[in-house]
Structure 1
Amino acid sequence: MSATSSICLLRTSAIGDVTHVVPLVRTLQQAWPQSSLTWIIGKLERKLVGDLPGVEFVTFDKAAGWSGMRAVHAALRGRRFDALLQMQVALRSNLLSLGISAQRRIGYDRARSKDLHGMVVNERIPARSGEHVLDAIGSFCEPLGLKQTRVRWDIPIPDEAQAWAAAQLPGDTPTLLVSPTSSHVLRNWRTERYAAVMDHAAARGWRVALVGGPSGLERDMADAVLAACRSRPLDLTGKDTLKKLLALLGRAQLLLTPDSGPMHMANAVGTRVLGLHAASNPHRSGPYSDRRWCVDKYDEAARKYLGKPASEIPWGSKIEKPGVMDLIGVDDVIERLEAGMNDKE
């Protein structure tokens, strides 16, 4: 197995998927410490992982459209990589990859290809079904002669982010963080149900805090949840950065969230995740390390909305239908919350 001296990784988004790339970076670095790694990444996503040691980052500003693509191509002009790992099948990313010169262009297998992906690659990862997204991304090292056998993140968290998080969540009071908003709105749970679970945790003596980004959608969701609460949770919505959120997650015992980026950030720092899954399959896109605390109504959703069990629909199918998250009841979540609270592992 000979080292590949220069590797370009193309995965620009989203937050959760970017966390899944980090173990692949660690695998490549451990096997070939002298290889140069260049990662083309989204502007927001770079704020989360852009300080990984030993990696050159090239930012792709998706909002800039064609000029954003041209900026990436200009940054890489005159360079030729031994291998390009084209880990995103969206049309925009496939077009972006056309301006990257590489001898080997490794992409997804045919079943997972779309949007002209097959036209921009000359090799493919092994065709497998039933994989978690992280394992699929990890398999991009296999055509290079490697195997990802260990999953490690160790995403850097600056001291100032740790200090900020400690100021918000001082001491060792057990803490439930609630990140209620997914960018896929049909994955979001009802605000009054979040409030009922938060009130239950508060009554059990836990500290409860709402977290979320600065968008209007997240602010509106937070306000609605707070209005429905009888308790007084801490509201940190819009106050953190991605690094500060990592630090907050590291101080919490549990995160309650739908399928979203914070779910995978929490998993990356070893925090338990009470994931709410009906619209998406937790075995494909849930918290990678431990799904014991998740509520899984995906099979029930498949039967209700698609007329067949989850085992008979294509792997990775989204069931983002109005009302699908109502299949998750407050009692379902409190049962998993209590299990997580009482488990002392």
Structure 2
Amino acid sequence: MNILVIKQTSLGDVLHASGHIRAIKKHYQKQCPGSKLFLLTANTSADIYRHSPWVDELILVDRDSIKENWRKKPMRAIKEMQRTLSKVRQHKFDLAIDFQGLAKSVFFLYGAKAENKFVKGNWWGLKGFRNKKLHAIKEMDQLLQVAGIPTTDTTMELVVGNDDKLSVDRLLLKINLENKPILIVSPFSRWPSKDWPLKNYMEVCEAVSNAYQVVFTGSPDRKIQIDRGMEDGCCQSAVNMAGAQSLLEFVELTSRASLMLTGDSFPMHVAVAKQTPVIALFGPTDENKVGPLGERNRVIRAPGCDVCDNRHCSRHCLSRLDNDEVIRMIHEFTPDSCLASA
């Protein structure tokens, strides 16, 4: 049996589907041993499933090329989509499920040679499910149930390789000489309105630095910003790992951490997948739809924010969030022995 799963972007959304991919593969492995699961995803998301035992083959979409050319050179973008579709159509599928439900993904679902097709959303001629009020993971649970697939366990998972583990072993020997609990701080997301000011992150980290080894993470283009924040005199004992790790090395580092502090971002989802407690700061987005599931995780909402879902909201409600509230929450997670030494 051949199964096609479509989930293209963004990184957090792609990771959301990891438990559902496991549920699909395990279900059909019992019924049809030797079943193959193909995952259509963006090239930028491929590492999330590089070591997954549930994905047999990746079909990659050149997301950057399509996005770059869509307005100025649309024919190039269309040709890239056609090239990807031809890869999809090389196979005949018994089942195809699109967890994205957007035009850019449904294009491939319509074009796939599949006997049964399911989609997140309402699309002509396709069986689907859509309820925007549900958490993204719960919404995908419902879609699987429409497809007749059990959803007893759809918790996220992320598998790394041995090389990634060894790399983090070496890193920790260098940066954590006192063997303190590690606090990962990921201050940036793709939306400016979702980011608490870096100055606030720095001040909070300075306040808890005696109890934790603070490690800042982020994309390569954020390294200079974090360096400058530390040069201003805040949290100089922290380590800036922005741009210094691969995606999977970051995942492994997260699994070794005692706590993560971040906004609504991909690192937040990684922490949940690796069962590392996370304090997530929310402003324009709704934690009830995309927030961290799990009893150990906490959300702090920006005061007076009306959840506008605006990438560039001029109000920037998170700037009104008080440092003390975040520090108190971190202390709730901090072992008494560390607080005493601090």
Structure 2 residue matching 1:169: 3-state secondary structure:
helix
User: How many residues are treated as equivalent by the alignment?
Assistant: 314
| Structure 2 SS opposite 1:141 | helix
Residue 279 (structure 1) aligned with residue 284 (structure 2): yes
Tell me: CA distance 1:19–1:258, structure 2 relative to 1, closer, same or farther (3 Å): same
- Normalised by the length of structure 2, the TM-score is 0.84
Aligned residues with identical type, % of pairs: 20
| Equivalent position of 2:16 in the other structure | 20
Q: CA deviation at 1:108?
A: 2.3
Distance 2:99 2:37 in 1: 14
- Check 1:128–1:95 CA distance in 2 against 1; reply closer, same or farther (3 A cut): closer
Q: Write the distance in 1 (CA, Å) between the matches of 2:59 and 2:90.
A: 15
Structure 2 match to 1:255:
260
Pair 224,131 (structure 1): closer, same or farther in 2 beyond 3 Å: farther
Q: How many angstroms does 1:144 deviate by? A: 2.1
Aligned to 1:115: none
In the alignment, which of 66, 84, 90 is matched to residue 96 of structure 2?
A: 84
1:318 aligns with 2:337: no
Give 2:49's aligned amino acid: V
| Alignment match, 1:64 | 65
Shift of 1:54: 3.9
Q: Is the 2:193–2:283 contact (alpha carbons within 8 Å) kept by the matching residues of 1?
A: no
Q: How does 1:103-142 map to 2 (within 5 A)?
A: 103-110=115-122, 118-119=123-124, 122-125=126-129, 127-128=130-131, 130-142=133-145
Q: Is residue 2:168 matched to residue 1:165?
A: yes
* Structure 2: stretches of 5+ with no match in the other structure: 67-77, 338-342
Deviation at 1:43, TM superposition (A): 0.6
Give, as a single letter, the amino acid of the residue that structure 2 aligns with 1:330. Answer: N
Aligned residue number for residue 225 of structure 1: 229
User: CA–CA distance in 1 between the matches of 2:99 and 2:237?
Assistant: 43
Specify whether residues 91 and 128 from structure 1 end up closer, same or farther in structure 2 by C-alpha distance, changes over 3 A only: closer
1:40 Cα shift?
Answer: 0.1
Find the aligned partners of 1:343 and 1:97 in 2 and give their Cα distance.
Answer: 53
From 176, 179, 184, give the equivalent of 2:186. Answer: 179
Q: CA deviation at 1:220?
A: 4.1
Name whichever of 89-98 and 23-32 sits farther off: 89-98
Q: Distance in 1 between matches of 2:27 and 2:235?
A: 53
How far apart are 1:290 and its partner, in Å?
Answer: 3.7
Q: Aligned-pair distance for 1:8?
A: 1.0
Superposed structure 1 runs of 4+ greater than 6 Å apart: none
TM-score norm. by structure 1 comes to 0.84
Tell me the CA shift for residue 16 of structure 1.
Answer: 0.9
8 Å contact from structure 1 (residues 210, 237) kept in 2: yes
- For 1:53 and 1:60, the matched residues in 2 are separated by 21
Instruction: Note if 1:341 corresponds to 2:334.
Output: yes
State whether residues 81 and 102 of structure 1, in contact with CA within 8 Å, keep that contact through their aligned partners in structure 2.
yes
